[in-house]
Structure 1
Amino acid sequence: MKQGLGTQLRHLIELLDGAVAASYAEAGIDYRPRYTPVMRALAEGTPRTVGQIAAAAGITQPAATQTVALMLKEDLVATTAAPADARQKLVHLSERGRALLPRLQQCWAATSAAAASLDADLPYPLSTTLAQAIAALEQQSFGARIRAARHRLSQTGSLHGDKEIS
């Protein structure tokens, strides 16, 4: 039985994240792969709001909020009140986060080289395919595509006119 797109993507993430997590452990670093987009967004040293982190990292604001909360508990980041609005928090690397950054950057370089190796083994580079898929979904969301398919199905009894697909 062919696996669905969501199942394949979850399995791919499990394979990638599991190997990346293992590489951190092998390097003696207690660190989760999900922290990397936030760490990279803060690596230059400029404090950012969670919204700014999300935009810079290319993740959703809820994901950034959850990740920052976890990183606060592990003392990788700290927050301060924004000068213009004390209700708004600025996130920055903690002393521990800054100290860990050089070792993380070495791990990221190895991960990047491994990703390039994977791309080279595929008929179409995964990184390019993923970027194209994200761009296509930004143009028309998957939800809109589902609704259009559902409409076609209700009109024709088939997703592709009179052709049934198996």
Structure 2
Amino acid sequence: MKPGLGTQLRHLIELLDGAVGEAYDAAGLDYRPRYTPVMRALAEGRPLTLGQIAERARITQPAATQTVNLMLKADLVVSTPGTLDARQKLVSLSPHGKAMLPKLQRCWAATKGAADSLDADMSHPLSEALAEAIAALEQQPFGERIRAAMTANKKR
């Protein structure tokens, strides 16, 4: 039996994140792949709210909050109260996080090279398939598709 879409995606992420994590270890970095979208958003240099991080990183706000909390513990970011609303957190790279950027950028460049190599080995580039899938899901979310399939199954 062919594995389901979710199982295949989880396995793909395991294969990719495992290799990327090993590359960070080899570069002497104590760093997790899940930090990358947040690090890239903050690398611009100015403090961001959790909502801004989520938007720039294209992740959910709960995922941004969870990742930032892990990054705070790892001393990669610092959090300060907002200037207009003290309940709002402003997040920026810590001195440790800023110091890691040059090594991280080299790892990111190597990761892009590896991704380009993977795309070249495939009949349909993975990056294009993922972009197409994301666009289709932005038009009709997967939850709507599940509900439609359940309705269709009830009619049979």
Aligned counterparts of 1:38 and 1:86: Cα–Cα separation in 2? 22
* Structure 2 counterpart of 1:107: 107
Structure 2 Cα separation of the partners of residues 4 and 89 of structure 1: 39
Q: State the match for 1:152 in structure 2.
A: 152
Shift of 1:112: 0.4
In the other structure, the counterpart of 2:137 is: 137
Instruction: Give the TM-score, by structure 2 length.
Output: 0.98
- Structure 1 counterpart of 2:90: 90
Q: How does 1:3-152 map to 2 (within 5 A)?
A: 3-152=3-152
Which runs of 4 or more aligned residues in structure 1 lie more than 4 Å from their structure 2 counterparts after TM superposition?
Answer: none
Q: Deviations over 1:101-158 (max 9, x none)?
A: 1100000000000000001111111111111111111111111111111111212x1x
- State how far apart, in whole Å, the 1-side matches of 2:83 and 2:146 are: 45
SS of corresponding position for 2:36: helix
Percent identity between the aligned chains?
71
Segments of structure 1 that go 5 or more residues without pairing to the other structure are 158-166
Amino acid at match of 1:152: A
Q: Which residue of 2 aligns with 1:160?
A: none
Q: Tell me which moved more, 82-91 or 30-39.
A: 82-91
- Write out per-residue CA displacement over residues 47-98 of structure 1, whole angstroms, 9 at most, x where no aligned residue: 0001100000011111100000000001000011111111111000000000
- Read off the aligned partner of 1:100 and give its amino acid letter: M
Matches of 2:143 and 2:79, distance apart in 1: 36
Three-state SS of the structure 2 residue aligned to 1:46 is: coil
| RMSD, matched Cα | 0.6
Letter in 2 for 1:45: G
Q: Distance in 2 between matches of 1:5 and 1:128?
A: 17
Tell me the TM-score normalized by structure 1.
0.92
Cα distance in structure 2, aligned partners of 1:142 and 1:85: 36
- How many angstroms apart in 2 are the aligned matches of 1:25 and 1:65? 25
**Which of structures 1 and 2 has the bigger CA Rg?**
1
Letter in 1 for 2:29: I
